[in-house]
Structure 1
Amino acid sequence: MNVHQESFADVVTIAANGPFPRPGSRIAGLGAYRPVTVVPNALAADAAGVDAQWIEQRVGIHERRHATGGESVVAMAVEAGNKALADAGAGPGDVDVIILATCSMPSPMPNGAASVAALLGCPAAAGFDVNAACSGFSHALAVGDALVRAGTARNVLVVASERMSDWVSARDRNTGPIFADGAAAALVSPSERPGIFPVAWGSDGRRAGLINIRPETGHMEMAGRKVYRWTTSALMPAVQGACERAGITPQQLKAFVPHQANLRIIDILAQAIGAPGMVTARDVTSAGNTCAASVPLGFHALRRHGQIHSGDPVLLFGFGAGLTYAAQVVITP
């Protein structure tokens, strides 16, 4: 396998003396898939019975993408997975495990990961799904990192894929204009030096009812204001913890990729970190809230547009239904 070796920023090398065990793991490649159909605010607003400007002012979204036809959770995951493998210079035969982060499969059985493995051409790979909703990718990445460091797997393909438009009512102003679809993937491979640092994660199940699927309708419902207050008041310790576990300070971050819930939350969290020159992912403006896929889609977009470079330390931070959260510092491939 010809997986290119990363270059590390000087500020990150100090973590070699920290708590991270060796050998380490790294993100060797990234891939993304965005559905073809673009839904502008005018259409989303009309369905929800609100004004297009109301959507933009409330959540910062200009447009979003909705999957149609054959763009299933599995199909989008396969597209993103293939691109991540190509970016890493790897092939299907190099993959030992596939972890699919999703909460929008149409049925709880069969799982999606095994189907992704078969369609990618690696049917012997272990495959399982992780459902931590909007923090799903960060949870799955932590598991993939642990598998590689433990020697259980050499290469783990972590994919987040969501078709949230199937689970919200377009008429519900609290969810319809916000949630959208897409997929992104990362190949996790061994590394002599750490490229994925220990995760800071947790949950608050006492507030699980704030985001749920209503049995009578089969649609998501969300207490948006309460979730907003929880996110902006309770989660900064996780950000601090992730940086401490990586052996760096928040001010040394080159980029911040939070869950793309809405623009107000993103800006509040970025301001609280206060790192000079830090780039913040704002993929939500054109992609909407893609749940588990939002963090890797935002990460992929920053790299694709040249806003971050190989070796840059980046903080990934997912949070959402459960309520769950997970943050980790990674090195840009």
Structure 2
Amino acid sequence: MDEIEELAGVAIAANGLSPRLGARIAGLGAFRPTTVVSNEQAAAAASVEAQWIEQRIGIRERRYGTSTETVVAMAVEACVQALTDAATTPDDIDVVILATCSMPSPMPNGAASVVSRLGCRAAAGFDVNAACSGFSHGLAVADALIRAGTARQVLVAASERMSDWVSPRDRNTGPIFADGAAAAVIVPTDQPEIFPVAWGSDGHRADLITIRPDTGHMEMAGRKVFRWTTNALLPAIKGACARAGMAPADLKAFVPHQANLRIIEGLARTIGAPGIVTATDVIVSGNTGAASVPLAFHALRRSGALHSGDPVLLFGFGAGLAYAAQVVLCP
């Protein structure tokens, strides 16, 4: 039996599974690049004042990947941590989903490279591009795969090099976007710990965040995006809580996409549950695209603000304009 036949046999055997009632997050991992970029550095490039960045956006510093800290390399580092946290191995993973919008090329897909570098024996691998809501979309897909009995364990990674896609001279994007990666291992459970997703998109406004074909740089209508996020997304937040059978006040934490501190604060007020913890990782990480939600989730858990079993609302939103929200229980 040659290698291809052997791997195909492993994959077929792995797919002989039964549907499950639910899924849960068994482990989390994160990778933050080594290069820290201060507001003074970002401000000089964008021809603004350093205090303007903190006052208007709420960011104090961000991290950029080095030449070796690629989308795939950062995803692998985060995945290794998540596998260790979940006490599982690459051989146990049936599917790898990579949420990203910043791969340098559409082919090959990043997930296939992650599968190879991790040494997963027979895992499927595919990318999800829902921009900054990518991790939440990937998590919903992983939950569905496990519930359907298509996979036993799914690794959802989110990795971005947003610094490659913005001009440092553009004050609307340059000081905001940054790089990083995070990952989660999803496994079956008898009682759901990942609750049904509330998601959607507003393609009529997709031109608010685009990549210019002539420059290859992102353009964003910041004020219009701000109004959309703080005014139009409340139904998704309420819908995710309702599908989990909870009220916002039942949550322990709210982890929205780390777009901008002012947007995060506005969404937190919209929820109307002042007692819950709201993630503000954007202050030290910037906007890391699809990686921002799991990076912020990982940071809250590591800080001790969250404990196993705590209900947390994850909420990704961004270009598309796509959004996805779901309540999960902290691993």
- Under a length normalisation based on structure 2, what TM-score does the superposition of the two structures give? 0.94
Contact 1:77 1:159 in 2 (8 A): yes
Q: Which residue number in structure 2 is paired with residue 161 of structure 1?
A: 159
Structure 2 letter corresponding to 1:238: A
Kindly provide the CA deviation profile for residues 266-295 of structure 1, in whole angstroms up to 9, marking residues without a partner as x. 011111212242000000000000000000
Q: Secondary structure at the match of 1:300?
A: helix
Q: Which residue number in structure 1 is paired with residue 242 of structure 2?
A: 244
Separation (CA, whole Å) in 1 of partners of 2:60 and 2:288: 14
Q: Which residue number in structure 2 is paired with residue 210 of structure 1?
A: 208
Q: Which residue number in structure 1 is paired with residue 122 of structure 2?
A: 124
Separation (CA, whole Å) in 2 of partners of 1:287 and 1:123: 34
Provide structure 1 residue ranges, at least 5 long, that are not aligned to the other structure. 1-20
Matches within 5 A, 1:302-313: 302-313=300-311
Aligned length, in residue pairs: 313
Q: Does 1:79 align with 2:66?
A: no
Structure 1 letter corresponding to 2:249: Q
Deviation of 1:192 after TM superposition, in Å, equals 1.0
Separation (CA, whole Å) in 1 of partners of 2:140 and 2:309: 19
**Partner residue of 1:98 out of 79, 96, 99:** 96
**Partner residue of 1:298 out of 296, 307, 310:** 296
Kindly provide the CA deviation profile for residues 220-267 of structure 1, in whole angstroms up to 9, marking residues without a partner as x. 000000000000000000000000000111110000000000001101
Q: Secondary structure at the match of 1:103?
A: coil
Contact 2:20 2:146 in 1 (8 A): no
Kindly provide the CA deviation profile for residues 39-90 of structure 1, in whole angstroms up to 9, marking residues without a partner as x. 0000000000000000001110000000012000000000000000000000
Contact 1:84 1:186 in 2 (8 A): yes
Structure 2 letter corresponding to 1:139: H
Contact 1:114 1:123 in 2 (8 A): no
Structure 2 letter corresponding to 1:191: T
Deviation of 1:22 after TM superposition, in Å, equals 5.0
Q: Which residue number in structure 2 is paired with residue 196 of structure 1?
A: 194
Separation (CA, whole Å) in 2 of partners of 1:248 and 1:182: 31
- Under a length normalisation based on structure 1, what TM-score does the superposition of the two structures give? 0.93
Deviation of 1:321 after TM superposition, in Å, equals 0.1
Structure 2 letter corresponding to 1:115: S
Deviation of 1:153 after TM superposition, in Å, equals 0.2
Which region of structure 1 is more displaced relative to structure 2, 116-125 or 229-238? 116-125
**Partner residue of 1:24 out of 6, 22, 25:** 22
Deviating 4+ runs (over 4 angstroms): none
Provide the identity percentage.
76
